[in-house]
Structure 1
């Protein structure tokens, strides 16, 4: 294993622990040409998101979408950044235009449910959320605490698990 590979693996571990500064420190000595690698871009993006640096994270997510247009990750992250920037309608648009692989991910349906709830599209939101819960039952527990879904709290609690 090269030193660069070790640093990337260590940075991934730090991200999983929520230690974003430490992750960035691991990546900082990498040669400049490695900064365009998808794994390095993804780690850097997650660090920016962890630091609530939404505009910078959005720019990096958009780069990932361009570099890997068939992969869902960049689109999910770009949409989330837009939502955090108060641009929720654009977030829905990004996910709607994303690759078909997005529709295999429970987080796609969950996030679409959250975004539609925030936009006041409650029926559409519940349809997306029910699909997310079918795909990953643990998301139901997450939804109970998600502030984006406060407007649907009564509906969520009345639906069977």
Structure 2
């Protein structure tokens, strides 16, 4: 009886953890879009200058600043180059986060920006979304967690020699 309650508790824990996944993905995506908007606004003046003098080529604008003898212009070249690189990174992140759900999960798991992940995690508040994606994630995580823990416990008991009694085996698999 206690084992059944433990299984239910484990399933519930997996369910609650699983429903967090879509909320976290959504928060990360919104954070990326907000940073991208801010980045684009900070580059707006430089983009207008690049349009006017370099046919919109930001790389040419940065190269022009770097080639200048004026140390102020050279310093600005570093700043503008940093802004351009950040905007490019945020555009890539935004494109990845506007793809299909499996692409979003893969991107967050393997290639997401660590600074943005940390910001999202620090600002994240646990939530229970009742949308189909959250329900599906919750059930999938609950089943996976319950299955992994059950498999681990059965393996440990088997390695320790427990469950060799026929009555125990029969009761366990009934």
* TM value normalised by structure 2: 0.27
Which structure shows the bigger proportion of residues in helix conformation?
2
